[in-house]
Amino acid sequence: MNRMKVRSTPKGRAVEPRAREEVRALIEETGSRLGVEPRRRDLLIEHLHAIQDRHRGLSAAHLAALAQELRLAQAEVYEVASFYHHFDVLREGETQPAELTVRVCDSLACDLAGAKELLERLPGILGARVRVLPAPCVGRCDSAPVVLVHQNPVGAATVDKIRAAVSNKALRGAEPAYLDYAAYRRQGGYRLIADCLAGKRTRDEITGIMEDSGLRGLGGAGFPAGRKWRIVAAEAAPRLMALNIDEGEPGTFKDRHYLERDPHRFLEGMLVAAWCAGVGEVYVYLRDEYAGCRALLERELAKLRKNPPCALPPIHLRRGAGAYICGEESAMIESIEGRRGMPRLRPPYVAQVGLFGYPTLEHNMESVYWVREIVEKGAAWFASHGRNGRKGLRSFSVSGRVKNPGVHLAPAGITVRQLIEEYCGGMLDGHEFYAYLPGGASGGILPASLGDVPLDFDTLQPHGSFIGSAAVMVLSRQDKASDAARNLMRFFREESCGQCTPCRVGTAKSLALMGEARWNKALLHELSRTMIDASICGLGQAAPNPALTVMKYFPQEI
């Protein structure tokens, strides 16, 4: 008779005592910092950050110990750690990464500004102790080329500036001047949310003002803000809120711009939106590249909690780990829950079944940033702005071949020619306007001949494009639209989460076809249609836009 052999140890890698103690200490530190019970499943990514920040990498021993402490399968911990760009998962016997990591942004704006040359030269100049890696957009396209020395952004980067940053070993650069909690309160800040909670304003009144203003979501999708509040408020309690500050779209940096200058305007707008929708708990998801913003937010949230103007809901700040896909609302929710950032199938929508299974109000940072000003000045004030029959204001993140790149607040419906001349100081000397991207990487590439089309929701679709998050990238006759399209498709290939075949295979195949001397237009059109029709989320559905618009408007280049 055969007897079943009983294992003396659990399946998987045995946990080393030293690694267990190190991980336990870090778990407790994280829980204390966040003010929560630390052995929660949704804190997996926070704990991975803590381990990597301390040890410069994620060893097999530490991952096994973390799995044991959180009562997770080791495979579950590994799949999350290996999904995100910013986690260095070490293989068995592999030593820690180099002493310092330098990430060179190679997205379009930085590519135009010389990122390729930096990537070629830096390894030989900085030496073996410094690891040089290409990186997707880091949200500072107005100061291209940009390099991250650990967490310290170096804008308008040169070899000398990077060498100095490496020598100084600075973790973060100097923060811009901003309106702190005391200054914001002196200017009437938090009076609106205090009045709401005191019964001086009603939910229906505030929501109605937002509806009348015509404010639409400013993260890219453009869903009416007030209507979203009503939809979530109609769902059964408890309800949650998730704020998306993961702006990874190449060319987009408006959220960082506002957050670095007036963080409490964002926080108060968030609280008003949460109150109107009947939300009881708030999660803020901030991209990992914004280390300075994270430190600022942690500091200002501490001041707000210490001297609150009114009762506050629990507010949780969560750290991304380098994944463009987490800008998609359901992928962001998966990441907040401590999982891979995989978009969910719909329905149900996140307003019905979102974070932790509860109805969730999801918003882009800038969408709530405008709430206080719209309510105080009235819906008519916001709607009174606009050109060419459009209404409202738009924060354009402008980069590329212009004299004054940056975030420019302009009327909705302004044209790109007007934006360049009136707000950006014109084209750079020696550069002639040739083409532009009206909506970042996914919005397509349009020729200068369409430079008088109003920039707003619904105005660009007839031309195969859209405004998205209003990231305008300007090309000159020294550039080629086909080169830009290849750069963008490479970004989409690298950032595909891999969940669905049309996106995973389609982006790779499209890039290969676009690398040929002459593009196979028929096959690219067929492949693009499949991606648009069958991809699960907006990444795969919008990825073909650069190729499609180049084939339509720049046939001479391919």
Q: pLDDT at position 254, please?
A: 97
Structure confidence at residue 11 (pLDDT): 65
**Residue 464: how many CA atoms within 13 Å on its side-chain side?**
19
Residues of the chain with pLDDT under 50: 1, 171
Residue 350 buriedness (CB in 10 A; 0-12 / 13-18 / 19+): buried
- Return the pLDDT at 514: 98
Return the pLDDT at 103: 96
Count of H helices and E strands in the chain? 24, 13
Q: What is the pLDDT of residue 1?
A: 47
Q: Are 428 and 401 in contact (CB under 8 A)?
A: yes
Identify whether the C-beta of residue 298 lies closer than 8 Å to the C-beta of residue 317: yes
pLDDT value, residue 92: 75
pLDDT at 329: 96
Handedness of CA 90, 95, 100, 102 (dihedral sign): negative
CA distance 69 to 27: 9
pLDDT at 8: 54
pLDDT, residue 10, reads: 55
pLDDT of residue 5: 59
| pLDDT in the model for residue 156 | 96
pLDDT in tens, 150-179: 999 999 999 999 999 998 855 455 667 899
Q: Which pLDDT value is given to residue 210? A: 97
Question: Using CA atoms, how far apart are residues 209 and 482, in angstroms rounded to an integer?
Answer: 44
What's the half-sphere exposure (Cβ side, CA atoms, 13 Å) at 439?
28
